[in-house]
Structure 1
């Protein structure tokens, strides 16, 4: 089968590789659609931290946002899964350690991460092996585009949950990229007043095209009461700005990762009596995200700029994209193109 393989920093190619065979408790999914994100771009550039800690190594097959159809089942898997449209969790814990048995399998020390950690192959390929326990069925209303947006949506949903807001309260989202905009959509669907803080006019113009009227730059953000701040940016200065802007006694949620360490003054955290939450992964948020998409309460499809084939992935990861694609942040891949 064909798969996109990163062989070294800045180097990648579409290769013919052996198709996966399902092991016990596993299925093989025929991939309909896969998304690429900032983590994938970091693998392509060589900046991704796992490359420097030994948790990932070249060559690597990326892709962890996906939707497809179960094509094969392994031993012990109910054959009723065959032909079902699915997506799945990226984080594959061992299943038996204390973290896994206490509902924190996404933090398992020995976990695989599909297309990211410990060599589990990713979804930028025609077929993908997945443990059946990680699968989530997709209803008819959730098409392949929506299915491949469930994983980033689950991250955003968990971040919005962690903000602890009620309808009518005010949320500031720093970083109007895919996760930030998904969080904004999910929060708005819950009756929360959403404000967005971005770097430049094009990204904020796109946010306004989605109906978000309250968009600001660092120079223009007004002195409002922000009941929570959600940092979905990659800017190392943003975490400290979140501490500065949030209302005392409320919450900051960090889901973005900067390439270099970002500093906050813990004295301010204490003196403002803040709750600070970090969010890693969509685990625990996938099923509810599917429901939001299926019901129409949240429609993330406008975030997809284009759908391309495997041969175009390297250009996407190198941030070479046609101006005609506009300001939408997400690019999807059809592995059969």
Structure 2
């Protein structure tokens, strides 16, 4: 048996003793060292997540899709060299044989699993995790467990930077100063892009070296070569289209609780390209490389690392008393409230 966080209904979660996973054919079992809590996990906890209403996710549900750990077991057909390796993995796990998977778009496979999100594959807010070996990514020695758990959000951010299609010296405006927004800013800066941020709480962003951080009222009138919307505000996509330079790109990764509207007349008359980002898949390897090379250090984003027993409180919106200013809370499933077991 092992301990795992289980969401039992809207606003209800508890740590339970559950059967420890066994590595099936093509799978490994990973001892989880860190798992991140993100907005998707919060929406699954509150019951607001759209997947709960469309039927692809249901309670009881075991969340967690941002993680790092060490391979402890290998199933049939898995190379034994995986044993003992430090890894993270791709949240989006396609069927492998449909038209989308064959075409390199497994992250939008209609039959995909999403680790800890859709039904079918229990998540990483647990002591151990069963995971397909063909979706693992090795963590180099220079990427510790904390940074490893930030690879998945960084992969999403990397895809935002790629989609913005900017050259060094061009100007990017990132809407939102949460984890994805800040990681997008950090990865873009590492490419030589001039980065500006728009948000409400700006002190932490400025502490990371983003002096050009603005509120809506103080935002300067500058030509924005690309705009990334990493917020959950319904008004932001339209603002992004309004602000971006004609002929350039708006990248949308944030999801609002209410429908967001873009006037297509604005997009057409400005010849704007709008790109939606779902999943980190294509961004995972370059994100790991950015961390390993030292071009980006994501660890300052972590406000606290707490035990599995404290995860429900974090999902309910309570921050640990000792938390720093960063936006990310990590869970160490090996830890008890008193310390390490």
TM-score > 0.5, shorter chain as reference: yes
Residue from 304, 309, 315 that aligns with 1:306: 304
In structure 2, the residue matched to 1:85 is 86
**1:97 to 2:95 alignment:** no
How far apart are the structure 2 equivalents of 1:327 and 1:206?
6
How far apart are the structure 2 equivalents of 1:330 and 1:321?
10
Residue from 208, 211, 227 that aligns with 2:209: 211
**1:147 to 2:148 alignment:** yes
Matches within 5 A, 1:213-228: 213-228=211-226
In structure 2, the residue matched to 1:269 is 267
Deviation at 1:216? Answer: 1.0
In structure 1, the residue matched to 2:242 is 244
How far apart are the structure 1 equivalents of 2:210 and 2:107?
32
Aligned with 1:331: secondary structure? Answer: strand
In structure 1, the residue matched to 2:257 is 259
In structure 2, the residue matched to 1:117 is 118
* CA-to-aligned-CA distance 1:205-246 (integer Å, 9 cap, x gap): 110010000111111111100000000000111001101110
* CA-to-aligned-CA distance 1:134-168 (integer Å, 9 cap, x gap): 00111110100011000000000001000000000
Indicate if the aligned counterparts of 1:25 and 1:75 stay in contact, CA closer than 8 A: yes
* CA-to-aligned-CA distance 1:145-195 (integer Å, 9 cap, x gap): 011000000000001000000000000000110000000000001110100
TM-score normalised by L of structure 2:
0.97
How far apart are the structure 1 equivalents of 2:125 and 2:156?
20
**1:173 to 2:171 alignment:** no
Indicate if the aligned counterparts of 2:170 and 2:225 stay in contact, CA closer than 8 A: yes
Deviation at 1:324? Answer: 4.1
Matches within 5 A, 1:174-213: 174-198=175-199, 200=200, 203-213=201-211
Indicate if the aligned counterparts of 1:251 and 1:277 stay in contact, CA closer than 8 A: yes
**1:320 to 2:318 alignment:** yes
Deviation at 1:323? Answer: 5.4
How far apart are the structure 2 equivalents of 1:182 and 1:59?
31
Deviation at 1:327? Answer: 2.2
**1:46 to 2:43 alignment:** no
How far apart are the structure 2 equivalents of 1:327 and 1:39?
21
How far apart are the structure 2 equivalents of 1:14 and 1:324?
22
Indicate if the aligned counterparts of 1:60 and 1:119 stay in contact, CA closer than 8 A: no
- Structure 1 stretches of 4+ with a deviation exceeding 6 A read none
* Matched length: 334
How far apart are the structure 2 equivalents of 1:189 and 1:116?
31
Unaligned runs of 5+ in 2: 336-341
* CA-to-aligned-CA distance 1:26-55 (integer Å, 9 cap, x gap): 111010111010000001111000000001
Indicate if the aligned counterparts of 1:114 and 1:120 stay in contact, CA closer than 8 A: yes
Aligned with 1:285: secondary structure? Answer: helix
In structure 2, the residue matched to 1:28 is 29
In structure 1, the residue matched to 2:284 is 286
Unaligned runs of 5+ in 1: none
